[in-house]
């Protein structure tokens, strides 16, 4: 379930937050329930191992609880929660960057042209193929290997299914930056994954076994 | 005016989001009808994004929810016992 799907129509989050701040702290468990997967998934796309991602997610939910009084309601609670999660994940990466040699300040490459992988035909890869660990691992790795500026936009827009405007708001960047980065991120994923997925999902007979 | 392949590639993301201007969208569509390479690029990109967004790609570890709520419960019940330092945001 994406963040976009997670917004239930009947939940009045502003009211829930007001009640929590007025003393009904237990209600926080309910407030965050729809976002458990989203926050974890976003953390996972940054820190690259399950334990750390869980840690980032817990920290983000705790920080959101402690700072709840500062939530102004100008954005959605989910957008605010995303900003907190992103900051927590970035903080974690910065702390480790000397170990991992991963720089968060790497050149934005905004001027560089990205080209897709050229294929003559594409045979639809069904979602059932995700039952295979190998296929899931290919996708995870491709997302993780994107530069942070591209990964952030892709995760928010295509995985959490935020709108272009919400993505721009959560990242504090312009709408045109979102579009440019998103385009590059998508093409980079296609370039990386299309040939590999084609090889990993051979033509005949494989899909029948799932039905 | 016909579009070249490399120009079509620049429009793939916005084509998928259906956010192109109508006249550009029409040019791209015309090109796609006649170009198997660009069609395959578009189809594969769309397919890959659908797979990427699937809940199965990043699954929650077993016990994640229980551990999260247990930690939150400790915070919720114990927060008064220590200094509260709200940060502005």
- The nearest alpha carbon in chain B to A127 belongs to B51
Contact A194 B48 (CB under 8 A): yes
pLDDT level of residue B2 (50, 70, 90 thresholds): confident
Output the pLDDT for position A157.
94
pLDDT over 70 for what percent of chain A? 83
| Contact residues on chain A for B37, CB-CB shorter than 8 A | 118-120
Q: Compute CA distances A134 → A50, A88, A137, A198, B54, whole Å.
A: 17, 29, 5, 13, 15
Contact A61 B56 (CB under 8 A): no
| Contact residues on chain B for A52, CB-CB shorter than 8 A | none
Q: Which of residues 113-152 of A touch B (CB under 8 A)?
A: 115-122, 124-125, 127, 129-131, 135-136, 139-140, 143
Percentages helix, strand, coil for chain B (3-state, rounded to 5) are 65, 0, 35
Closest CA relative to residue B61, chosen from A43, A170, A178: A43
What is the pTM for the complete model shown? 0.81
How many Å apart are CA A210 and CA B20, to the nearest integer? 38
Does the structure show a pLDDT above 80 at B25? yes
Contact B73 A29 (CB under 8 A): yes
- Higher-confidence residue of A210 and A57: namely A57
Give this complex's ipTM.
Answer: 0.82
How many Å apart are CA A201 and CA A180, to the nearest integer? 31
Output the pLDDT for position B79.
52
Size of interface A-B (CB pairs under 8 A): 147
Does the structure show a pLDDT above 50 at B83? no
How many Å apart are CA A42 and CA A60, to the nearest integer? 11
Are A119 and A198 in contact by the 8 Å Cβ rule? The answer is yes
Are A21 and A77 in contact by the 8 Å Cβ rule? The answer is no
| Contact residues on chain A for B40, CB-CB shorter than 8 A | 119-122
d(CA A75, nearest CA chain B) in Å: 12
pLDDT over 90 for what percent of chain B? 76
Give chain A's mean pLDDT.
85
pLDDT level of residue A158 (50, 70, 90 thresholds): very high
d(CA B1, nearest CA chain A) in Å: 23
How many Å apart are CA B9 and CA B31, to the nearest integer? 11
Give A10-44 pLDDT, tens digit per residue: 789 999 999 999 999 999 999 999 999 999 988 98
| Contact residues on chain B for A2, CB-CB shorter than 8 A | 53
């Amino acid at each position: 379930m994406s963040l976009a799907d997670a917004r239930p129509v009947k939940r009045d989050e502003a009211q829930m937050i007001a009640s929590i701040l007025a003393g009904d702290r237990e209600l926080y468990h309910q407030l965050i329930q729809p976002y458990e997967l989203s926050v974890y998934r976003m953390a996972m796309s940054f820190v690259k191992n399950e334990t750390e991602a869980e840690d980032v997610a817990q920290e983000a939910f705790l920080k959101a609880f402690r700072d709840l009084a500062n939530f102004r309601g100008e954005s959605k609670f989910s957008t605010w929660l995303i900003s907190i999660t992103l900051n927590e994940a970035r903080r974690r990466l910065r702390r480790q960057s000397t170990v991992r040699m991963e720089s968060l300040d790497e050149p934005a490459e905004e001027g560089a042209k990205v080209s897709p992988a050229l294929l003559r035909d594409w045979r639809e890869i069904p979602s059932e193929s995700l039952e295979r660990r190998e296929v899931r691992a290919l996708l995870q790795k491709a997302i993780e290997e994107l530069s942070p500026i591209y990964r952030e936009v892709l995760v928010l827009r295509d995985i959490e299914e935020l709108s272009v405007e919400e993505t721009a708001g959560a990242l504090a960047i312009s709408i045109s930056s979102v579009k440019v980065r998103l385009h590059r991120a998508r093409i980079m994923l296609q370039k990386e994954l299309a040939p590999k997925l084609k090889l990993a999902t051979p033509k005949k007979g494989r899909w029948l076994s799932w039905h | 005016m016909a579009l070249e392949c490399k120009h079509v590639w620049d429009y793939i993301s916005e084509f998928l989001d259906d956010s192109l201007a109508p006249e550009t969208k029409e040019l791209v569509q015309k090109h796609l009808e006649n170009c198997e390479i660009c069609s395959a690029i578009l189809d594969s990109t769309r397919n890959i994004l659908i797979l990427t967004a699937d809940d199965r790609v990043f699954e929650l570890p077993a016990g994640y929810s229980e551990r999260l709520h247990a930690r939150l419960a400790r915070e919720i019940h114990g927060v008064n016992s220590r200094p509260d330092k709200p940060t502005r945001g």
